[in-house]
Amino acid sequence: MSVIMMLRVKADADELEKYASTHAEQLRRIADEGKSRGAIHHYFAAADGEVVVIDEWPTEEAFQSFFDSQKEIPEVMKGAGAKSQPEIKFYRKLSTPDEF
């Protein structure tokens, strides 16, 4: 069963969106690498001065291997104005009848 990874960091959502719009190719390159290393789903969300990354990966180890070796993620975090170190948590994906 896959895992859900949530990365939380204090950052400005507007800065992230601005950075993403001017560095779209970089974000696509990172996403493509993630997919090639096993990522199933990926997206950003934000509220109250915090940005979260929500991914689905086959295992915690697959994500951690990708994250630890990916050289461009720190540039994205800096470009998004990250004001804290990322907090990463993993959740077990549950299988329920109402899933879609």
For residues 61-75, average pLDDT: 97
SS3 content of the chain, % helix, strand, coil (to 5): 40, 30, 30
For residues 52-58, average pLDDT: 98
Tell me, yes or no, whether 33 lies in a domain: yes
Residue 29 confidence (pLDDT): 97
How many domains is the chain partitioned into structurally? 1
Tell me, yes or no, whether 17 lies in a domain: yes
Q: What is the pLDDT of residues 14-54, one digit of tens each?
A: 999 999 999 999 999 999 999 999 999 999 999 999 999 99
Residue 1 confidence (pLDDT): 85
Residue 80 confidence (pLDDT): 86
For residues 83-96, average pLDDT: 95
Tell me, yes or no, whether 46 lies in a domain: yes
CATH of residue 15's domain is 3.30.70.100
Residue 6 confidence (pLDDT): 98
Across the chain, mean pLDDT equals 96
Tell me, yes or no, whether 97 lies in a domain: no
Distance CA 43, CA 84 (A): 19
For residues 68-93, average pLDDT: 95
Tell me, yes or no, whether 16 lies in a domain: yes
Tell me, yes or no, whether 100 lies in a domain: no
Tell me, yes or no, whether 52 lies in a domain: yes
Tell me the whole-structure pTM to 2 decimals: 0.91
CA nearest to 70, candidates 19, 29, 24, 22:
29
CA nearest to 8, candidates 70, 40, 55:
55
Q: Which domain holds residue 62?
A: 3-92
